[in-house]
Structure 1
């Protein structure tokens, strides 16, 4: 599914005025040749060899962790249809459809799959693929249903064969309503409940292998952003800037993109569809990331080409301090809401309050295989931080009609505090300088 920002990029491209005649400009689906790219982008090279895929052994460990959590929460089985959690546990990438497809994990016994009958061949092909990705593939039974049959009754039948006739069935939170409703009514003796305690309980804390992929994704995004920043010119459209980002990601070998918002449009946290032109001295806000073996980065940088005004610098410094304060507040056991509070206090104390007036969103979100996932750094979330959790840290100040500043880096909770994957941006005029 396209992200909100990916959709925005596509819509902006469709709405934009004709491209300026820039040497670097080509459609993002056909990236420019090395000779046509600006030198900083042409200097980028593929980094795909650095990405180590998640192993079958690690997925087996995920399944066992899920069983432990099922037992702890007194849930008898977990049902996952399509999407990220299916990929997380099984390595299967299965597009969302109106036809019910599910991988089901009983608290005891072998997992099973419920699939449309005409998809069985494709299912078994993936179950037998090398290298293997599906845990306990040799013990996984495939139940199939025809177009005129009720797949939810088949789920109940399969659960009965697994010894589950009463109890709770955990449904993954992003399951479409028709599926969750069908599961809920599959049997009068089975109750559908949220599967989030299981999926979040597994996905919330990252393993060393996951963290390595996230570090790579963030490092790649940092290098791509820096190369495109060095290639940017006054007179370029925001669409052209975004297309250079796509070309740079093609150079490094990972899919990625970035929205680009200029001047007053940067005061809209998720941007505008309006075509925009980059000018010297105006705020430029870029945002998004890339995917490395299924793991995401999410990074924002705010900068100007040329000289920044005193007001722009003042706002940047406040946001910079707020980002640092959020990270400094992070330690295992601290509630998620405390991280948001630390950043919000800096911004409010500096005169950009009260509360959400200028800093209009939470300070961060969990990140991993989804760009936004549990847990969220927002007031009211009392979930305690744990080592291995990963988040964005993205305070902002948005002044309607003038400009907005947001700084965003991803970070991990360590036993001693918070650690960013990338260096904080030091200034508007030199956003990628390293200490």
Structure 2
């Protein structure tokens, strides 16, 4: 049985509820319309997995209607992909699609328009020259809707994360000195595919020894040497929803300093988890992790040895999405929000230790998707 056999996909009814919520939220954000372009939000509202190209495709969503702007020669593909009929404004290859969008906005009396953050600058700049409407980022309204996951979304994310944790377990039992990084990555990808991931590993970072001190690795194909630390950060998607789990472990006995810092990393991760309470600002979670590290002489702030990046990120249809567990993000934690928890410790030129699991918010506080690592030598 694959991971996707245990969960249901997002239904047409849920997507329609999302679209209605977007339309109902427009006045609160002082917007007349939002322009959705290919990317995560296009998938979220319409189920379309198209990618942005030089040919503009977008959905103009106002309180009264939804208008898709699309090349005419793609009409059959778009109509087949959408389960609900909308209004359409087709454009031919010799036409400027930004002028078509401008006409749609003008006809709908849309003056204040939010642009999907996934829209490229080139498209947004061209649109700004083609319309008299006032353009701004649709990021705040889209984040307000996408940040709180439904029960179906949580189930899909749980399936993805459980699969990736199973992959970590299998790799821990399999990996041994003498293996190249590329071998390990290939096996992780294979296991994700066998388990039912959308398309194998969405990403994979495998680091050994000193390489673990670089948060996302460095180029090359090193060979695992006996006694080296192992850091593996990988994930997949199920129906577009992401996993992203990191484990740092050793196959052989490590020195006292490595063991002590590994325990400190686990303590910082636990402090961040405990700080995640409904209503508290996201930034407080980052502060809680850093306070633990600074108490033990690391940091402060982003200074090394210490934590070089934020404590966590939102996750869903994008592997990194808002809100973020970082100083300055004052978004109040709310039910259904999902985050990574990964307050990495880096000792430059020597090693790095990152434990990454994800949690989601409930009325009672944070709840783990996956059980955190037990110890340096018993990671899973």
TM bin (shorter chain): over 0.9
Tell me the distance in 2 between the aligned counterparts of 1:144 and 1:393: 45
Query: Match for 2:272 among 326, 338, 348?
Result: 326
Contact 2:290 2:300 in 1 (8 A): no
Contact 1:332 1:386 in 2 (8 A): yes
Query: Match for 1:363 among 289, 292, 311?
Result: 311
Matched, 1:121 2:121: no
Unaligned 5+ residue runs, structure 2? none
Q: How far does residue 330 in structure 1 lie from its aligned partner after superposition? A: 0.6
Q: How far does residue 386 in structure 1 lie from its aligned partner after superposition? A: 0.7
Q: How does 1:200-219 map to 2 (within 5 A)?
A: 200-219=143-162
Q: Deviations over 1:299-353 (max 9, x none)?
A: 1000011222211111100000000000000111100110000001111111212
Q: How does 1:125-164 map to 2 (within 5 A)?
A: 125-127=80-82, 132=83, 137-138=84-85, 140-161=86-107, 163-164=108-109
Q: Deviations over 1:243-278 (max 9, x none)?
A: 111111122111224211000010000101122111
Kindly report structure 1 stretches of 4+ aligned residues shifted beyond 6 Å: none
Matched, 1:78 2:34: yes
Q: How far does residue 100 in structure 1 lie from its aligned partner after superposition? A: 0.8
Q: Hey, what does 1:285 align to over in structure 2?
A: 231
Q: How far does residue 155 in structure 1 lie from its aligned partner after superposition? A: 1.1
Give the 3-state SS of the residue equivalent to 1:185 in structure 2: helix
Tell me the distance in 1 between the aligned counterparts of 2:145 and 2:135: 20
Q: How far does residue 152 in structure 1 lie from its aligned partner after superposition? A: 1.4
Contact 1:281 1:309 in 2 (8 A): no
- Structure with more relative contact order (C-alpha pairs < 8 Å, separation 6 or more): 1
Query: Match for 2:261 among 315, 333, 352?
Result: 315
Tell me the distance in 2 between the aligned counterparts of 1:217 and 1:200: 22
Tell me the distance in 1 between the aligned counterparts of 2:75 and 2:62: 21
Q: How far does residue 382 in structure 1 lie from its aligned partner after superposition? A: 1.0
Matched, 1:241 2:184: yes
Contact 2:227 2:251 in 1 (8 A): yes
Q: How does 1:7-22 map to 2 (within 5 A)?
A: none
Contact 1:280 1:304 in 2 (8 A): no
Aligned pairs, how many?
A: 375
Give the 3-state SS of the residue equivalent to 1:258 in structure 2: strand
Tell me the distance in 1 between the aligned counterparts of 2:269 and 2:260: 14
Contact 1:238 1:276 in 2 (8 A): yes
Matched, 1:88 2:36: no
Contact 1:169 1:192 in 2 (8 A): yes
Matched, 1:398 2:342: no
Q: How far does residue 184 in structure 1 lie from its aligned partner after superposition? A: 2.0
Q: Hey, what does 2:297 align to over in structure 1?
A: 351
Q: How does 1:157-306 map to 2 (within 5 A)?
A: 157-161=103-107, 163-164=108-109, 166-188=110-132, 190-254=133-197, 255-256=200-201, 257-306=203-252
Contact 1:279 1:305 in 2 (8 A): no
